[in-house]
Amino acid sequence: MFMRKMMVVVGLIGFLTVPVFAVEEAELPVAVYKSKEMIVTANPLATAAGEEILKKGGTAADAMIVAQTVLGLVESQSSGIGGGAFVVYYDAKSKKLTTFDAREKAPLAATEKRFYDADGNKLSWYTAWQSGLSIGVPGVPKLMETMHAKYGRLPWPSLFHPAQQLAGKGFKLTKRTSSQVEELLQKNTSCLDKDRIYFRDPAAFAYFVNPDDCTAKPAGTVMQNKEYANTMQQLANHGSGTFYHGKMAFDIASAVQGDLRIPGDMTMGDLARYEVVEREPVCMDYHGYEVCGMGPPSSGGLAVGQMLGILSNFDLERYTVHEPQMVHLFAQAGRLAFADRNKYVGDSDYVTVPIEGMLDEEYLRARSLLIQSTDMGSADPGTPPGSFDPYGADPTIKDSGTSHISIVDRYGNALSMTTSVESSFGSGVMVRGFLLNNQLTDFSFAPEDEEGVPIANRVQPGKRPRSSMSPTIVLNRDGKVELVTGSPGGSRIIGYTAQSIINVLDFGMDPQQAINVPHYTNRNSSYTQIEEPIGSVTVGYDAEALARELRKDFSYDDVRVDTLTSGLSIIQRKEFQWVKSSSKQPSWNITTLLIGGADKRRDGTVGGR
């Protein structure tokens, strides 16, 4: 079916980029072509709701609000109004790119030793995760309102109806959500109310778990969430103020402070003070394209930019995507970028981050010279030009869940948003039908390194924890949007996103091919990961053979073949030249198409017209 469709498209537009690997299996997910508008999300219901809004003439900002509120219901383990997000936005009217920082903030009462117990011992990451201490002040409700005020077109209340209706009527629990619930339940040693750690919150337990045998509600269960429907109604009627002030804020602060395991300290004042910050994007030149991402407090834009800047010193086109030499270069670039990220990046409202220096072309060329023909082992941070404070490193690497939304609307606006409650089901605390994040575990638990040097990403009151989220928009030589990309995946997000850009720009893949190829990551830890094959996705790829070659020919000590669950959502805007031959006088025409790819490692889908 796809091949037939593809042949039609090829006939119509004259040419297409040649796939790097052969299409061998019928069910292989393939790129979707549309001409007017497009949305890609991690869930079919969210994609469909966003698509409907675009069809009605809504903007990318309108569609984002609908997609986010539906995701907060149907994929609540990953993102929602109890979490935070970053948006990179291209405004077609002003032809300008900007970014919005809706990252969660630490309460004002937070101290450097937040994640230590009374005896001065550092808490384990797992203890902090399932506790009120991990919950930051959410940014998503304010983000939706900010984006709507600036770029929205459809009436604000109408954007909450799809999620409200779905919550009232019920939706079918996905296999992925059900198995994620089960995975956490398995970590409990007892299911008794007094002992339970995961799903300790009675509201979350009642919603996701069968009380009789303490198992996850199975896939296909119709989930109604009346409280969420009511929350949607409140937001529709009163705007985000209903979340940050009054009764709802009281309920949120009470749930945090009343956490059954370790109480948190968020107050109604913390909620009332929350602000979204519009920040300059972090942009860098890559083969004449302008790659723009999110600056601090995210490390995403800088680390993706560094990887690309380092790799631009190599002729990648000589390689194929599976080739050991290519994987080696990518892994080494990852090592170097993470070494700098760990040392220099924190919330730039609190620490001086050498943003320009880290992306300086000469600096990155010098860094690229450190790449030899074998694994360098652990990379040391460099000394980028420009001023910064002498920080210690925070080498924490994070694995978890989140969601990415990519949208291009009929007006030419483009939106790349990564949105998160941090880990699966956030902190596990549920209020008014939504889950609260555990984003503060992205801070360095230790305030200083072993030499006593303060860490840029240490906890401070009102600060935003360092992120790896990498929403990205790439502009072409004419300043037009070329690519909208981003992914969930903890700190692996950086590698997934960089690889997606290389796959499209260097290897000429379409977005779906760019997503389907296996991933590789090295976050400057002792091991390098290569993705385990996924039958209908990573076609024609032998992970074990690749691992062997990396060990033998490139001296990698520890190569692991692992599950690497990206969730890339990509839109490419591409101009095709074609010959109009129906008339006697053949003439050249240009057609612009949007090409979408969604990640089948999650439940990604592409919608549009």
Question: Least distance (Å) from ligand GLU to the CB of residue 547?
Answer: 25
Q: Is 69 a catalytic residue?
A: no
Binding site for ligand GLU (CB under 6 A): 398, 400-402, 420, 422, 439, 442, 467-469, 488-490, 493
Q: How is residue 321 written in tokens?
A: 């995507």
**Beta-bridge partners for 282:** 293
* C-alpha span between 566 and 605 (Å, rounded): 14
Question: Least distance (Å) from ligand GLU to the CB of residue 380?
Answer: 23
Question: Least distance (Å) from ligand GLU to the CB of residue 484?
Answer: 18
Residue 319 is given by DSSP the state: S
Number of residues written out for the chain? 609
Question: Least distance (Å) from ligand GLU to the CB of residue 468?
Answer: 4
- Would you say 295 or 490 has its CB closer to ligand GLU? 490
* C-alpha span between 500 and 296 (Å, rounded): 21
98 CB-contact burial (10 Å; exposed 0-12 / middle 13-18 / buried 19+): middle
Task: Check 402, 419, 485, 497 and give the catalytic one.
Answer: 402
Beta-carbon contacts of 560 under 8 Å, excluding residues fewer than 6 positions away, are: 527, 528, 529, 530, 547
Question: Least distance (Å) from ligand GLU to the CB of residue 595?
Answer: 25
- Would you say 306 or 413 has its CB closer to ligand GLU? 306
- Would you say 124 or 592 has its CB closer to ligand GLU? 124
Half-sphere exposure of 198 (CA within 13 A, CB side): 22
**Beta-bridge partners for 88:** 99, 416
Alpha helix stretches (DSSP H) within 483-542:
493-505, 511-516
- Would you say 447 or 465 has its CB closer to ligand GLU? 465
- Would you say 101 or 259 has its CB closer to ligand GLU? 101
Q: Which residue is nearest to ligand GLU (CB)?
A: 402
Question: Least distance (Å) from ligand GLU to the CB of residue 470?
Answer: 9
- For 371-438, the DSSP string reads --SS---SPPP---SS----PBP---------EEEEEE-TTS-EEEEEEE-SSTTTTS-EETTEEPP-
* C-alpha span between 44 and 49 (Å, rounded): 9
User: Catalytic positions, please?
Assistant: 402
